[in-house]
Amino acid sequence: MLTTCFFVAAALAARVHSHRFDPSAYAAEDVIERDFAIIGGGAAGTYAAISLADQNKTFTVVEVTDRLGGHTRTFRDEATGASIDIGVQLHENIPVVRDFFKRLNSPLAPFQPADFGNPKYYDFTKKVALTNYTRPTIEGDYVAMLSKYPFLDDLNNLPDNVPKELLLTWPEFAAKQNLSSGSAEAGLWWPATPGNPLDATALAIFNDGNHVELAEYTGAAVRSATHYNSQIYDNALAELKEHVLLKSSIIAAQRGSSRKDGVRLVANTPSGRKLIKAKQLIIAMPPVLDNAKYFALDQKERSILSKLSGKHYYAGVMNNTGLEAGVAYTNVGQNTPHHVASLPGVVEIAGSASPGYFFYWYNSVDPQTQEEIEEATRSTIKWLQSESGAKAVEPTFQDFADYSPFHLSPPTSDIANGWYGKMKGLQGYRNTWYISSLFVVGSTQIWNNTRNILPEIIDAARC
């Protein structure tokens, strides 16, 4: 009897579940039929959407927050005219960047490192000013080493047989390769790098600090002319708004194994549940299991994606700090290996082009709350005020961003076992494509890679 009840319940549950993918169970306006479903509206998703729009393809973007842009975030105060980029700051000055900004009517200007202010160094943990310290710059031996492994710029090209030395931690690698102390230290200085840099592999350091990053920091970088890097995303949203579901997420999926099956997705949206029928699915959100588990993963997909995890990184904007304009207050370890700053803590408090406003970046191995981060940042500012003889004022926190999960990667042992090749092998599998930051770190490279893979994705939708 019990067994019969179980089978009846299971059959009912299966019917209820398959019902979710049946268009006749929805009002006509709640069924969205498109060529492509794009999940995530950050750098990758927005670039894909605009490119598809320009090729007269149909699509829906499903974005969990109330805006497009992802890691690109600009604090704007219409009353004061302040505009401060707190996430993405700059891009390489290459055609894919210039074309995208032009397409979205957002003017560019050359980026100068001094845009962040002139660096002054402190150990924020020990509360010491390091007046004699100067940050080293990358030397020729770093560049030579990077060039020796040309696949490091884009891990799509990583061989399955990964050179073992690249899986050493950066300090181990630097010691083994006799890197100059300047390069060994500067390799750990790439901006907005989450986690403990001393634990990062050489592979991760070079993938982040690659030829694009080097070019950007040696003069070939651009930024929004009005310090409004989010303008491209705001303009994209204004143009595409009827094709974008904000504050929405996917709660169930059916993905066929043949191209003619396409995909069916159930989305929770502010205007109720929608059924999305698409020929191809484009994943442009971080595909960590917490996000990807709603996409009916099979065993093969689950075994690959379950290895991914991201790190924690935070940022914010404040004014009324009492700090000196034009200075980038930079955290450095006084006596730590390679002068790495202690964690958790403020990485940098940098000036902006809007008078009185500073943005800060904050790094922590473990997750922290906004309250904890703002309290720690306030305490650092109070110490800087006393250290510099500035007036003791209370900083006002104006904006906050949590960029976790950031810098996704599998464990080192899985990299050694060909994880990147397996991940690449998922492209197109069960009508699903992955374009978010996995193989490359910066938005410039994400746009390049998305542009390169889109013809294949479009071709898959032809069947």
In the complex, which residues of this chain contact ligand FAD (CB under 6 A)?
A: 39-45, 62-65, 70-71, 87-91, 192, 249, 284-286, 291, 313, 315, 361, 403, 406, 436-437, 441-444, 446
* Minimum CB distance to ligand FAD, residue 360 (Å): 10
Please state, in angstroms and rounded to a whole number, the distance separating the CA atoms of residues 220 and 209: 15
- Total residues found in the chain within this entry: 463
Contact assessment for residue 433 and residue 283, using Cβ atoms and an 8 Å cutoff = yes
- Minimum CB distance to ligand FAD smaller for 319 or for 437: 437
Please state, in angstroms and rounded to a whole number, the distance separating the CA atoms of residues 60 and 400: 28
- Minimum CB distance to ligand FAD smaller for 159 or for 367: 367
* Minimum CB distance to ligand FAD, residue 442 (Å): 3
Which single residue brings its beta carbon nearest to ligand FAD? 42
* Minimum CB distance to ligand FAD, residue 361 (Å): 6
* Minimum CB distance to ligand FAD, residue 254 (Å): 17
The tally of CA atoms less than 13 A away on the side-chain side of residue 235 is 15
* Minimum CB distance to ligand FAD, residue 408 (Å): 9
- Minimum CB distance to ligand FAD smaller for 171 or for 316: 316
**Residues near 333 by beta carbon (within 8 Å), at least 6 away in sequence:** 123, 125, 339, 340, 341, 342
Strand duo 406-409 + 59-62: pairing: unpaired
Which segments within 290-448 are labelled E, that is strand?
Answer: 309-319, 327-331, 345-351, 358-364, 396-402, 406-409, 432-434
Of 100, 159, 88, the C-alpha closest to 448 is 100
- Minimum CB distance to ligand FAD smaller for 63 or for 185: 63
* Minimum CB distance to ligand FAD, residue 463 (Å): 26
- Minimum CB distance to ligand FAD smaller for 60 or for 179: 60
* Minimum CB distance to ligand FAD, residue 235 (Å): 16
- Minimum CB distance to ligand FAD smaller for 174 or for 444: 444
Please state, in angstroms and rounded to a whole number, the distance separating the CA atoms of residues 357 and 310: 29
- Minimum CB distance to ligand FAD smaller for 201 or for 363: 363
Interior angle at CA 307, CA 302 and CA 309, nearest 5: 120
